[in-house]
Amino acid sequence: MENFTPVSAAVGGVLIGLSAVLFMALNGRIAGISGIVAGVLTPVSGEWAWRIAFVGGLFAAPFLVWLFSERPIVVFPHPLWLTIIGGLLVGFGARLGGGCTSGHGVCGMARLSKRSIAATLTFMVSAIVTVFIVNHLLGL
Amino acid sequence: MRILSSFVIGLIFGLGLVVSQMINPQKIVAFLDIAGNWDPSLIVVMGAALVTTFIGYRLVLAREKPLFEEGFQIPTKTVIDRPLLIGAAIFGVGWGLAGLCPGPGITAAAVGGLAPWAYLAAMAVGMQARAFVKV
């Protein structure tokens, strides 16, 4: 467990939570990223600009960190073709299931929504099983 | 105002992801790999985010309306149905394969080379494919 980083994890988690709370306080919405992105891909009049702005904020964040610190690390442990299949399934599954790690995992769970608790438990288990198969049975 | 607030709030969300290293697929997969060299960091990220949101939502939702909109938009569905569970299960498989979920995918694309862009393109295709499948 030498790769465990509890302090930065807690600080980052509070920032994510703060963002979710502010979004509800100011814009009155759940900070569900897959829903926000889906609205960028299928624009509805008057509902497009704020979505692009939110995505722009997500995209700008690592540059802000990079100004004051080192360039954030992004390393993919699995081959590119698995990353691409993963992207397809993430997009499809998030739309079918009505949310992702942010919408269900953070915002929905914080509302004690039964749907979000069920969704979060389900994708946690399926992700853990997937990684077990890929890393230990297939060795990819 | 709501466009500016969306940008700033997206930025704070992204900073949280960068600080907690949740934009690094290696870190996500190390959390999901309970049979390997397990890294529990994601539990702490989620726990801290949950506690903050739980408390914050209680304060915010006690108010009449949000600052820049006429009302709160809260999901009203309460039924745990097939699309929810099948969708979440498929999402989890993709999350385990790529080591990225949608938010971190966008943030990682800024500094992570071409692979996050390939992931995002595939994610967009997957999202649009939803409309063509009946579940």
Q: Which residues have C-beta within 8 Å of that of residue B110, sequence separation ≥ 6?
A: A59, A60, A61, A62, A63
Tell me the average pLDDT of chain A: 96
Chain A residues with beta carbon closer than 8 angstroms to that of B33 = 131-132, 135
Q: Which residues have C-beta within 8 Å of that of residue A54, sequence separation ≥ 6?
A: A36, B6, B7, B9, B10, B13
Least confident stretch, A40-49, A82-91, B89-98: A40-49
Q: How far is the alpha carbon of B51 from chain A, nearest alpha carbon, in Å?
A: 7
Residue B68 has φ and ψ, to the nearest 5°, of -110, 5
pLDDT of residue B134: 82
pLDDT of residue A32: 97
pLDDT of residue A38: 96
pLDDT of residue A9: 98
Q: Is any Cβ of chain A less than 8 angstroms from the Cβ of B80?
A: yes
pLDDT band at residue B124 using 50, 70 and 90 as cut-offs: very high
Domain ranges of chain A: 76-140
Q: Are B49 and A14 in contact (CB under 8 A)?
A: yes
Assess whether pLDDT exceeds 90 at residue A2: no
Model confidence pLDDT, tens digit, residues B74-98:
999 999 999 999 999 999 999 999 9
Q: What percent of chain B has pLDDT over 70?
A: 100
CA distances from residue A58 to A1, A72, A123, B37 in whole angstroms, order as listed:
29, 14, 23, 29
Residue to test with chain A: of B7, B65, B91, B130, most A Cβ within 10 A: B91
Assess whether pLDDT exceeds 90 at residue A1: no
Nearest CB partner across the interface for B115, out of A34, A38, A80: A80
pLDDT of residue B102: 97
Distance CA A59, CA A130 (A): 28
Assess whether pLDDT exceeds 90 at residue A64: yes
For chain B, first and last CA: distance in Å? 38
Chain A residue with the nearest C-alpha to that of B129: A92
Q: Which amino acid is at B106?
A: I
Cα A131 versus chain centre, distance: 18
Chain A residues with beta carbon closer than 8 angstroms to that of B26 = 73, 75-77
Token pair, residue B37, equals 């060299």
Model confidence pLDDT, tens digit, residues A92-106:
999 999 999 999 999
Assess whether pLDDT exceeds 80 at residue B115: yes
CA distances from residue A84 to A53, B28, B49, B114 in whole angstroms, order as listed:
25, 16, 28, 11
Chain A residues with beta carbon closer than 8 angstroms to that of B134 = none
The stretch B108-129 carries a mean pLDDT of: 98
Could you tell me how many CB contacts below 8 A there are between chain A and chain B?
A: 494
CB contact under 8 A, B6 and A92: no
Q: What percent of chain A has pLDDT over 90?
A: 95
